[in-house]
Structures are given as C-alpha cells and as structure tokens.
C-alpha cells in the first residue's frame, strides 16, 4: 500500500455486533484520495437508493485522508459522512479537526463505516487495531463534556473520542458529532444519524505510525512551507477566526438581523467590537491551543466562573467562540453580549449542537416574534426579541434538550417553519433545510453557486470565491460581473475538494502556497501529483458526491433560494446595498463548463469518461430528477 494510508477500514454492523476489516485498493485511493472522496465512492454502492437517513440501511462513516496524522501542514482533519436526514435525504458530510482523526489512524484504520442500528446504546472502542463494541447504557443521556471525562477515567487519558450529546440521542437534526469536547463535525445533521444507530461514541487508542513514502522529504517540506505564511496567518494566530468578526459585520459579509439588516446601521462598529478580536482574546484566562500538529493554534480556552452566564463545566473553563458562532448568535441576532455567546458555545458543545443551525433557527424565531407572528405564549414565556441575551441562551438550552418550544425548533428552520404553519417564509433563511453559514453571497457573489450547487448545500467549507489560496494564478475581475467566472470557480472548487479529502485543514490551504499540497501528497504517498491532476481528481470527487444526490432524485437547481441571501429585494442600506446576485447566470455557465445538463445537472457521458467514471454512465442515464425552469436574461 502507498504511504499515507494505514491500508484498511473497519466495517461495523451495529445490528449484529460484528466487525470486519477491509483492505483498501490503490486505485480507490488514487482516484478519490480519502475523506469524503473515498466515502462517496464506497457509500454510493453501500447505501441503497431511497434508504431512510435515520434507518438501519444508512451508513455512517468517519474517514481520514492520506495527510491526516502526518507532518503535512495541517494534517489534522477527518470527515463524518452519511445520507443526510437534514437535506431531503441527500449526501451529507461534515469536516472536523482536533485530535480524533490522527489518532484513528494511529489506532490502525483509515476509516470506520457503521451500518445497521444497535438494539441498545453502544460505543465502539478501537484499541491498538482491535475493535470491540461495549455497552453504553450508563452513558446514554450524558453531555459530551461529562462523557469524555467518564471514558478517560475508564480507558485512560491517552484515548481520543468522538461522540454525540443528548441532541443526537433525541435525533435532533440540529445535532452534530463532537470530539475534544469542543470540536464539531457540525453540518448535515449527522449527530442524529449517529443517534439513530444508538451509537454514543467511537473511542480510539493507538501508537501506530502512519507510513511515509519519503519521511525526510515531507519533514523538509514542512519546514519550508512553515516559512511562507500568508498575511491571514497572523490574524488566525493572534485571534483565531474571531479576528474577522468586526470587519465582516460592517462589510456585509456576515448576516445581520437575520440576513435582513446592515451592520453599519443595525450592528455598528462599537457593538461589533464587543464580540471580535481583542474583546475575545482578553477574556479572563484566555489561552490559545492548537489541533494536532498545527502551527497556527487558532483555538482558545477562556474562564467564566461567575455572573449570569457562568460556565457549568471544567471549573468554569470553556472554549472561546469562533467566527461562525459569534456571528450567528451575535450579529445575526443583534446580540453584543460576549459572555452570553461564550455560554451558548458551552451549551452547544455539551449537548452536541451545530451553532450555525441553532443561531439561524433562533434568528427566524426572533423575527417571527418581533413581527407579531409568535407570542410569549408560543415561546414558553421567553421574550424572543433582538439582542435579548438571556432569552437566546435559554432557548438554545431548550433546543438541545427538546424541551417545550425547543422541541419545535430542534430540527432546524425548515421543520420549524412547517410545524408553525409556514409562517414568516421570508424570514426562514435556509437552503434545502440547511441553515446558511455566516458569509453572505451579496458580499461574495461566488458563494451563491457554492451554496446552491454543492452536494451539501449552504456550506462555507466548499470551494469557491470565498476561499482563494496563496500562489494560485487566477483572474478575479469585478466580483459583480457574472459572466466568464466558470473556469476560476471550478478551479477553486476542485482544489478544496482535494484539500478536504486529503485530511488538510482549510486554514493551511488559505495560509500556505497552494503548490505545497501536491508536493506533500507526493512526498507522503509516493505517487505523482501536480496541479492539473489535482483539478481532475477534485472534479471527480465533486461529481461522485453529486451523483449520490442525482440517484436520490435531487436536482440542486430546484433547491429553494432565500430572497434575502441573493438580494431579492436588495438592501437599501449598508455596504452591499442595491446588490442582487445573478446566481442563475453563474450556475448556468458553471454547468456548461462542466459538461452537465443545464436544467437537470446530469453529467454528460463525455464528462464522465473524461474523469474515468464510466461506471456511472448507465446509472446517470436512468436518474429521474425534476428539471429546473429555463433561465432567461431577465432572471
């Protein structure tokens, strides 16, 4: 087997309790690299079309990449994958850092696939390459924080854990998969999938070494690459992602007032600074920390032992909130109370909640309340008004525990909208059930096709105009010119597909020369990689995930498009006032460039052959997806 791979995955049938090792083939690894690339190829064959996302036929995967757990910069990531219960049964994935991914490989496996459903709560323990399922009945109901403490007392402090909290146990579609107590594989509702399988945790211990084709070369490359940081490095190193909150609020990048406001008017500089950069890193007890092997160290711990938002666990020590959490519970809700957001972060981490989803859902509810569509009687007596920190904290807890009105909201905006009689439709900002992250297409128009066309909608960790690495020669031009953008967009999409599949962190991608990725892949695996090859591989991975959705009858062009997201109607104030994004032109030119049908998004036979995906041709000729209405120049 090539370097970078442990050479095997573990298949677990939770219904029968049986485990089986499976050897990885070199062709699979070369063509799909790892992570969600490899997973999409395998699960296309293993999850039957039409399977219930919360049923035993769904398969939950935890996959690393060849650069995970190696000296590569920054090889700390793993991917959680499954059919998503959140996005109409489409492909689901979520990306996470921390320590679990590398240690899964150190325990002997490149990935784990979990099928079936256990008759009682279980957890999987992989100890130096040996796997066993153990009773988790006494762990069911525990929050993530207490669970990790109990498991480390039971198995030793040298283990790493990914798990679900009570939200996942109760099959809330807002639930995510957690590791390191505070790192979240947050999107696609995969915590609910794990809960449906009655799997509380996956625990790993191992000291195996990841094979390296050329250890001396990859070690030398790491030293060389670390000497070439981009300017963004200093922001991340000094502040983490909270370093951009203030500027994003004023520029129009972050959502303000549930995507309907403007930072310059509704959340001006003096308020934005209260939840950004220096305000966050000067909190009591602030101490930076890093994921496995990371030179940036964008994470941080803070202390909040007293006051109305005192932290409950770890003697008052919690994780500092990052950009998405600060925006979705701050700018988005007009909440400048930093202490409340620190507390919300703890609640979400412990209960296992996606902060993007919960913040977006509460934004929808606040606007319905402010507009008179809901009353205190509906919201359990909570006054859900803009910036009401205490009410926001209380509702977050209710959502995580499915208590009272929180049960209505526990599956996100789309389900809440349905349960509430479809009130406040214009306030319900989601795409195919996925709440939108805190980056606005009106500020970065290329985000529109990224959010709308990717297999997992509304994702800021997919490639496109938002994520441009150093060293890449592209012509951007005027961002509000909507034609002739396809070549650049596809290049950015494909590079991020490879980054994600390889197990690299997006911040490594954004801070070091892009040419470092093929260099590192070659040094670790021993295979030849270059930029052109990465483009082709990235497109193959993107197409594989898309094919999963097409087989389920899902056409991304028929997804709902929230008017507020694209400026219909345009804002009248702020930095992006007057902007309406011509996303249909962007989409059409992208599909034409890819060789996909411009109304049904089905890849042509020629485009599949070009990618070496002939095995899909027959399947794609039989897919039955609704055709999108033809776009016109007036759209």
Cα R_g (the chain), whole angstroms: 23
Is the pLDDT score of 37 beyond 90?
yes
Report whether 74 contacts 85 (CB < 8 A): no
pLDDT band (50, 70, 90) for residue 239: very high
CA nearest neighbour of 182 among 360, 396, 345, 398: 345
Residue 589, φ and ψ in degrees, nearest 5? -70, -35
CA–CA gap between residue 455 and residue 467 (Å, rounded): 18
CA–CA gap between residue 74 and residue 506 (Å, rounded): 8
Q: How many other C-beta atoms can be found within 10 angstroms of the C-beta atom of residue 209?
A: 12
Mean pLDDT for all residues in the chain: 96
Residue 146, φ and ψ in degrees, nearest 5? -65, -40
pLDDT digits (tens, 9 = 90+) for 381-416: 999 999 999 999 999 999 999 999 999 999 999 999
CATH 1.10.569.10 boundaries in the chain: 231-435
Is the pLDDT score of 17 beyond 70?
yes
**Domain 231-435 sits in CATH 1.10.569.10:** yes
The rounded Cα 170 to chain-centroid distance in angstroms is: 21
Is the pLDDT score of 634 beyond 70?
no
CA–CA gap between residue 394 and residue 309 (Å, rounded): 11
CA–CA gap between residue 104 and residue 502 (Å, rounded): 15
CATH architecture of the domain with residue range 447-511+530-622 = Orthogonal Bundle (1.10)
Which pairing describes strands 199-205 and 91-96: parallel, antiparallel, or unpaired? unpaired
Is the pLDDT score of 633 beyond 60?
no
User: What is the predicted pLDDT for the residue at 308?
Assistant: 96
CA–CA gap between residue 113 and residue 107 (Å, rounded): 15
Q: How many other C-beta atoms can be found within 10 angstroms of the C-beta atom of residue 530?
A: 12
Task: Give every strand in the sheet of 78-83, ordered side by side.
Answer: 18-23, 8-13, 111-115, 60-64, 78-83, 91-96
Instruction: List, in order, residues 6 or more apart from 546 with CB less than 8 Å away.
Output: 91, 455, 556, 601, 603
Pick the CATH number of 8-205 from 3.30.1540.20, 3.60.9.10, 3.40.50.150, 3.30.1600.10: 3.60.9.10
pLDDT band (50, 70, 90) for residue 1: confident
CA nearest neighbour of 355 among 326, 382, 379, 384: 326
482 sits in which H/E element: none
Give long-range contacts, CB 8 A cutoff, 24+ apart: 158-161: 158/205, 159/103, 159/203, 159/204, 159/205, 160/98, 160/99, 160/100, 160/103, 160/104, 160/203, 160/204, 160/205, 161/100, 161/201, 161/202, 161/203, 161/204
CA nearest neighbour of 412 among 58, 88, 162, 145: 88
Residue 127, φ and ψ in degrees, nearest 5? -120, 105
pLDDT band (50, 70, 90) for residue 39: very high
DSSP structure class, residue 261: S
CA–CA gap between residue 620 and residue 322 (Å, rounded): 41
Structure tokens at 391: 């009410």
CA nearest neighbour of 170 among 356, 15, 351, 12: 351
pLDDT digits (tens, 9 = 90+) for 537-592: 999 999 999 999 999 999 999 999 999 999 999 999 999 999 999 999 999 999 99
CA nearest neighbour of 258 among 392, 411, 86: 392
Report whether 363 contacts 426 (CB < 8 A): no
pLDDT band (50, 70, 90) for residue 166: very high
Q: What is the arithmetic mean of pLDDT over 158-175?
A: 98
Structure tokens at 211: 């094979």
User: What is the predicted pLDDT for the residue at 2?
Assistant: 84
Percent of the chain scored above 70 by pLDDT?
Answer: 99
Is the pLDDT score of 34 beyond 80?
yes
3-class DSSP assignment, residue 59: coil
CA–CA gap between residue 434 and residue 454 (Å, rounded): 12
User: What is the predicted pLDDT for the residue at 632?
Assistant: 54
pLDDT band (50, 70, 90) for residue 137: very high
Q: What is the arithmetic mean of pLDDT over 455-475?
A: 92
CA–CA gap between residue 460 and residue 450 (Å, rounded): 8
In whole angstroms, how far apart are CA 425 and each of 329, 356, 460, 568, 624? 21, 19, 23, 14, 28
CATH 3.60.9.10 boundaries in the chain: 8-205
Where would I find the H helices in 230-314?
Answer: 232-239, 245-251, 263-266, 269-272, 277-281
Report whether 59 contacts 13 (CB < 8 A): no
User: What is the predicted pLDDT for the residue at 291?
Assistant: 96
Task: Give every strand in the sheet of 177-179, ordered side by side.
Answer: 130-135, 122-127, 199-205, 160-163, 177-179, 183-185
pLDDT band (50, 70, 90) for residue 495: very high
Q: What is the arithmetic mean of pLDDT over 461-489?
A: 92
User: What is the predicted pLDDT for the residue at 631?
Assistant: 65
User: What is the predicted pLDDT for the residue at 64?
Assistant: 98
CATH 1.10.599.10 boundaries in the chain: 447-511+530-622
């Amino acid at each position: 087997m090539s370097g970078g791979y442990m050479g095997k995955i573990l298949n677990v049938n939770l219904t029968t309790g049986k485990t089986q090792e499976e050897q990885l083939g070199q062709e699979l690894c070369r063509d799909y690299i790892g992570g969600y690339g490899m997973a999409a190829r395998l699960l296309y064959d293993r999850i039957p079309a039409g399977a219930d996302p919360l049923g035993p036929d769904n398969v939950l995967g935890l996959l690393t990449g060849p650069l995970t757990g190696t000296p590569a910069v920054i090889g700390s990531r793993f991917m959680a994958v499954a059919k998503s219960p959140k996005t109409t049964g489409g492909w689901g994935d979520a990306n996470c850092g921390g320590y679990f991914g590398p240690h899964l490989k150190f325990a002997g496996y490149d990935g784990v696939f979990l099928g079936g459903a256990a008759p009682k709560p279980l957890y999987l323990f992989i100890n130096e390459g040996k796997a066993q399922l153990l009773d988790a009945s006494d762990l069911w109901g525990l929050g993530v924080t207490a669970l990790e403490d109990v498991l480390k007392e039971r198995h030793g402090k040298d283990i790493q854990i990914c798990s679900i909290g009570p939200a996942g146990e109760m099959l809330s579609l807002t639930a995510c998969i957690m590791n390191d107590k505070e790192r979240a594989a947050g999107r696609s509702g995969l915590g609910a999938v794990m809960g449906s399988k009655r799997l509380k945790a996956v625990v790993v211990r191992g000291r195996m070494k990841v094979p390296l084709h050329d250890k001396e070369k990859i070690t030398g490359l790491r030293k060389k690459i670390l000497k070439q940081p981009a300017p963004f490095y200093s922001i991340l190193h000094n502040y983490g992602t909270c370093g951009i909150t203030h500027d994003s609020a004023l520029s129009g990048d972050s959502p303000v007032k549930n995507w309907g406001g403007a930072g310059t008017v509704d959340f001006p500089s003096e308020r934005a600074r209260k939840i950004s950069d220096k305000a966050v890193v000067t909190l009591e007890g602030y101490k930076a920390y890093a994921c496995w092997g990371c030179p940036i160290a964008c994470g941080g711990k803070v202390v909040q032992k007293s006051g109305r938002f005192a932290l409950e666990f770890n003697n008052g020590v919690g994780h500092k909130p990052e950009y998405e959490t600060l925006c979705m519970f701050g700018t988005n809700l007009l909440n400048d109370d930093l202490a409340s957001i620190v507390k919300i972060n703890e609640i979400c981490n412990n209960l296992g909640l996606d902060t993007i989803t919960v913040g977006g859902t509460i934004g929808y509810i606040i606007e319905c309340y402010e507009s008179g569509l809901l009353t205190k009687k509906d919201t359990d007596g909570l006054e859900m008004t803009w910036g009401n920190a205490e009410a926001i904290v209380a509702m977050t807890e209710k959502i995580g525990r499915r208590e009272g009105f929180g049960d209505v909201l526990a599956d996100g905006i789309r389900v809440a909208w349905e349960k509430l009689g479809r009130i406040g439709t214009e306030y319900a900002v989601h795409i195919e059930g996925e709440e939108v992250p805190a980056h606005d297409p009106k500020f970065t128009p290329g985000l529109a096709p990224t959010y709308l066309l990717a297999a997992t909608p509304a994702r800021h960790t997919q490639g496109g105009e938002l994520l441009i690495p150093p060293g890449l020669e592209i012509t951007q031009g005027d961002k509000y010119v909507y034609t002739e953008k396809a070549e650049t967009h596809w290049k950015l999409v494909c590079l991020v597909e490879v980054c994600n599949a390889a197990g690299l962190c997006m911040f490594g991608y954004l801070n070091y020369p892009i040419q470092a990725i093929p260099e590192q892949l070659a040094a670790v695996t021993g295979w030849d990689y270059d930029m052109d090859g990465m483009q082709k591989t990235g497109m193959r991975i993107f197409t594989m995930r898309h094919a999963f959705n097409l087989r389920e009858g899902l056409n991304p062009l028929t997804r709902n498009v929230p008017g507020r997201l694209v400026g219909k109607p345009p804002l009248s104030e702020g930095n992006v006032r007057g902007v309406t994004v011509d996303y249909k032109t962007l989409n059409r030119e992208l599909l034409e460039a890819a060789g996909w049908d411009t109304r049904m998004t089905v890849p042509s036979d020629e485009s599949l052959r070009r990618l070496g995906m002939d095995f899909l041709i027959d399947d794609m000729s039989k897919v039955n997806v609704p055709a999108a209405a033809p776009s016109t120049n007036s759209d």
